[in-house]
Structures are given as C-alpha cells and as structure tokens.
Structure 1
Amino acid sequence: MNSINIDCRQQKPPIRTEPPTKALAESLPKATQSHDHPAKPNNNTNASLFFVGTATTILEWEGFRLMTDPNFLHAGDHVHLGPGVTGTRQTNPAVNLEDLPHIDAVLLSHYHADHFDEKVEESLRRDLPIITTPHAKDHLANKGGDSFTNVQALDFWDSLRVNFTTSKQSTDSNLKPQIQITGMPGTHVPPGPLAVANDLLGAVPPTNGWIVELGYTSPSSSDSSSSVDSDKGYRIYISGDTLMFDDIHRIPEKYSSHTGKPIDLMLIHLGGTTIPSPKVPILMVTMDAKQGIEMMRLIGADVTIPIHYDDYDVFLSPLSDFKKAVSEAGLDKKVVYLDRGEEYRFEVKK
C-alpha cells in the first residue's frame, strides 16, 4: 500500500498568492448550525464535516483538513460538462476560495468542472496533495510548467495511507491519527451502448467513490495492512457522481457490519443530473431519489448525508424528492440534511 506524509504544522494557504494578499484564515467560518447523530446524540465528538456546497465538503479531524471536490463558483457562473453541455450555478458557496484556511489535501472524485472548476484549477497551490482518479491525474500532473506536483491516483479498490503530523496531539500519547483512503466503483454512464460510445468519445469522465477510514494507531506499529477496527475509528463512504450498477454491490461485500467493517457515514451525490438538461433529459448521470434509497438500503450506513443536489441547473430530482422517499421508506432517523454552511459532528473512537 502506498502512503503520503503530510505535516499539518506547515500552514500554507490553499491558493497560490505571491506575495500573500491577506492573512491566512485560521479556521473555517463558524457553522450556521451543527448537527449530530439523528438518533444517538453524542457529547464526545472530535471531528466534523462542513458543507460548502455542491459536492464540496471539508473534513476536520485532529488538526487535519481534507477537502472534497472543490467547486467555488457563484450563482450565475457557468461550467462546461461535456460536448455542447453547460451548467449554470444557482447558489453561492458557504465560503469563498480565497477565504479558506489551510487545507492539507484534496479528494477529487473526477475531473469535471462542477467538481474542480476553472478558478480552482488556476488558483490552488501546485504542491497541494490531491488524491483522485488516474484520468484526473493525467490532466492535472501534465500541464507543463504549471502542473500539480503531488497528485496521487487511485483506481477502484486501490488504497492509500495518509500519515500526518500535527501540532494538535491526541490525548493518548500512545496513539497517532491516521487516514486510509480506498477508491470505490463509480460510473457516470449506465452500462451498455452509451457507455461504449462514451469510452470512445471521452465525453463524460470516469469517476470514483471513496472509503475514508479515520483511526488511531500505535506509533510503533509497522503493520501496513492494518485497518480501522469495527468498534473503533470511523468509516465514511463517499458515493461520488455514480449511478447504481453491478460493481456497487461489491461494496457491502467488503464494508458492512457483516464483514466487521461497518460504514458509519455515507455522503451520497444525488440530484438526478441530466444531460443535456432537465428540459431535454436524454441521459441521467447521477442518482435520483429512487436510486438514493436503493443505495441507502444496499450500503447500510449508520447515517447518510445527501449532497450535490441543487447547486446547478442540471438536476432533475430535487432534494424534496429524496426527503419524501426517505420518509416513505421509514428512514428518517438515518439521514441528516445539511444546508450550505452547516456541519455534522461525530466521534472517531480510540
């Protein structure tokens, strides 16, 4: 298993500013509302997930910040989503790109402008660690003299260990925090002739989901194959922009309460994204409410948070559809709804 080492004490700005135009923010904006487990409130939370908007979230734990799918465009801005297909942003992010505090790494599900917009691509500092798909790495690491220099590619089921040093020390000096990230199956295009055509044309990029495992290990541990225990740590599944397809069913074969690796939190990309537009819905490329419920039942996560559902004008299935389906399925106690600027707090057990 490959690994990367990150020193969180080097508080670099996430964007390249030479010389710096203003002081680096020390923290994210105060969340407009904090949520915890919908059925089991916990006073011992030590980690949080801040919802910026669309698929952009920021995970904070033990002084480490991991940002997913950075998109910081504003209402009225446009993105290119494929040949002849554009999307217009309908909302504003909860924080502006230039106002971000230090970010330690980026987790990018795929190279699509509503997940990695042109402003982000131009502005992010070039040595910022980015974990992504092989396709996205080909684009980001091969930009000539302006390439990103620390891009790590994970294909389906490949894993990467993140070892990090932080000025914030665990209360137990015999433990050190560690993150393991594993690529999960995902597809933007349903299997069949359209998928074959897309492979030839490269119209819609390949996409990953992720398993992010947070846990503590002994500083003297040399077992590179160790993973988060079922009764310790915390396991997050991020669906990415996928549809339901056969390979998704392999996930609970490896990660579930039956295997001793239960999923604590699922971030599910919804919206029923359609191209070329909801008015001409020729092809759906992300899950709608019906598939979202199917995914919830398949994965069996303790808590699900829907994201990626209303920030652009390409969504056919609004969040209200999912809320209705959740209630009809009797799953209300399994879902937390975050608005932009809100956070979910949870505990990574030791």
Structure 2
Amino acid sequence: MSDVRFTHIGGPTVLIEFGGWRLLTDPTFDAPGRTYAFGWGTSSRKLTGPALPASTLGGVDAVLLTHDHHGDNLDHAGRALLAGATTTITTASGARRLGGATRALKAGQATRLEAPGRPTIEIAATPCRHGPPLSRPITGEVIGFALTWPGQAHGPLWITGDTVYHRALRRAAARIRPGTVLLHLGGVGFPLTGPLRYTMTARQAVRLCEAIAPRTILPIHYEGWQHFRQDRDGIERDLLHAPKQISDLFHWLPTGSAEHVRI
C-alpha cells in the first residue's frame, strides 16, 4: 500500500509526493486580483493567492498540466516554474505551444516516469470535455491523468482535469477503476454563456462516482476564482442529497499543509 502526501496549494495546484517522486498538478502561483481572458469574450478574476509560494516548493520531477491555455490552470508564475521542472506532461497542442522537452499525450495514450530507486509511474491521459457538446473548438484541448505504480492497494490515482460529466469520461473511469480521485469541480460558468457549465458540479460528480465507486474523493479547483458557480458550501449542500456511501467518500484537503492518503 502506498502512502501519498497531497499538499493542496490552491485551485487545481497540488503537490503529490511518494516513493521519492515530487509531482505538481496545474501550477498556479500568481497573486490575486488579476483578470484573465479565456477567449470568446469570457474572463475571470483571481480572488485567492496560493497557500504556498512557488519559491518554497523545492525540486519538481514532473508537472502534470491538464491544459496550458487557461490562466486558472497555468498562470504567469506557474509558467515560469515549468523551466525548473524535470518533465512537463500535457496535451499535444499544449506541448507544441510550450516547446522544449514537454511530453505530449492525447486521451488514451500513456508515458512513464522512471528513475533509479523509485517506483515506475505509468501516466495515462484521460478524456476531458471542458464544456457542453461541440465546445472543444472554443474551450480547447484538455486531458486528465491516471497514475499507476507498484504497491497501489486500491487502484490508480486519477486527476480528472477540467471536464463536465460525459460518456467518454464515464467509460474511461470505468476502465481505470481509480481508488483515489483528485476531482475538479466548481461548475464553472460565465455571464456570456448563461446556464452552461464548463466543469463538473457536485451532482455530476455524484453520478460519476456512483458508476466507479472509488475509495477516496479529493475535491479541488472549486474556489479562488470568480468564474466558479459552486463553492465548497454549494458542493456540500448537494452532497446532503447524495447517497451516503458516496458523500462519505469526499475528503477536503487543507490548503498549504500536507495530508497523507493511503492508496
């Protein structure tokens, strides 16, 4: 059984440590107050800064970047951090934009992280749809990550990425059978597009988790930005109406301090 340390830095940014590895998801380290354009007339203001500054992180072996083209997943300070990471893994289009030794993955493809004295990690890209049907030309390419390594007792670690609930996501999750899920929530919406949502709501998350029955659900990316339509209070209100065997799986990571989870 693997003992994994998760440090939630804010938004989608989590430091994951185990077996000598230090992995970082979607680095966002800018101070609050800026407004970021997301294209097609949409934008959002950052309301909360990181719980830890990038300068305190130390070395990072790999950045798992679900997408590079939205400021709430890769901001200016996060982009600067990429140069110091050993490896960055992201979408095919993101790898072209970032250049260098960035590894490109499309949904269904996989790569490995290997180092002497450490467990080999297989990283498979999972499908995301960052909005309603047919929205990909507008919202761009996004992936999630399923991480598998020796010694996992309860199945892979899955980072969903920014996505709504959809059929390809459910099918991929059923194949992976993750034990632990870093679940991007928040029900992102914009005044320009009315009721349309661009990330999962709690109700969608319950449907997904009912289908795959993970052991632990760690919600992230639901706070700190103006475009979130469902914060922790809203998520917890919806969980009151969810089956208890699902709502009991949700565990809220503290920000800025490490939490140990057995995987």
- TM-score of the superposed pair, with normalisation by structure 2: 0.90
Q: Give unmatched runs, 5+ long, in structure 1.
A: 1-43, 142-148, 167-175, 217-227, 257-262
Q: RMSD value over aligned CA atoms?
A: 2.1
1:190 aligns with 2:141: no
Point out 4+ residue stretches in structure 1 off by more than 4 angstroms: none
Distance 2:237 2:219 in 1: 13
| Deviation of 1:242 (Å) | 0.2
* Cα 1:124–1:253 shift into 2, 3 Å: closer
Equivalent pairs counted in the alignment come to 260
1:241 aligns with 2:162: yes
Letter of the 1:310 counterpart: E
1:69 aligns with 2:20: no
* Cα 1:122–1:276 shift into 2, 3 Å: farther
The residue aligned with 1:173 is none
Helix, strand or coil: the match of 2:111? Answer: strand
Once the two structures are superposed, the pairs formed by residues 118-129 of structure 1 within 5 Å of their partners are: 118-125=76-83, 128-129=86-87
The residue aligned with 2:142 is 207
Distance 1:336 1:184 in 2: 23
What is the aligned-residue identity percentage?
26
Distance 2:85 2:221 in 1: 27
Helix, strand or coil: the match of 1:274? Answer: coil
Letter of the 1:182 counterpart: A
* Cα 1:291–1:233 shift into 2, 3 Å: closer
1:127–1:150: 8 Å Cα contact kept in structure 2?
Answer: no
Distance 2:256 2:2 in 1: 19
| Deviation of 1:320 (Å) | 1.3
Helix, strand or coil: the match of 1:315? Answer: coil
Match of 1:177 among 102, 106, 119: 119
* Structure with the bigger percentage of helix: 2
Distance 2:76 2:230 in 1: 26
Distance 1:268 1:127 in 2: 24
Distance 1:152 1:101 in 2: 22
The residue aligned with 1:342 is 257
* Cα 1:290–1:46 shift into 2, 3 Å: closer
2:181–2:218: 8 Å Cα contact kept in structure 1?
Answer: yes
Residue by residue over 1:208-242, the C-alpha shift from the partner in whole angstroms, topping out at 9 and shown as x without a partner, is 111111325xxxxxxxxxxx6xxx47511111100
Match of 2:116 among 165, 174, 181: 165
Distance 1:271 1:293 in 2: 13
Distance 2:120 2:154 in 1: 10
- TM-score of the superposed pair, with normalisation by structure 1: 0.69
* Cα 1:251–1:57 shift into 2, 3 Å: same
| Deviation of 1:264 (Å) | 1.4
Match of 1:134 among 92, 103, 119: 92
| Deviation of 1:76 (Å) | 1.1
Helix, strand or coil: the match of 2:148? Answer: strand
Once the two structures are superposed, the pairs formed by residues 263-342 of structure 1 within 5 Å of their partners are: 263-276=178-191, 281-329=194-242, 330=244, 331-342=246-257
2:82–2:88: 8 Å Cα contact kept in structure 1?
Answer: no
Q: Looking at CA atoms only, which structure, 1 or 2, has the larger radius of gyration?
A: 1
* Cα 1:252–1:69 shift into 2, 3 Å: closer
Helix, strand or coil: the match of 2:114? Answer: strand
Letter of the 2:126 counterpart: M
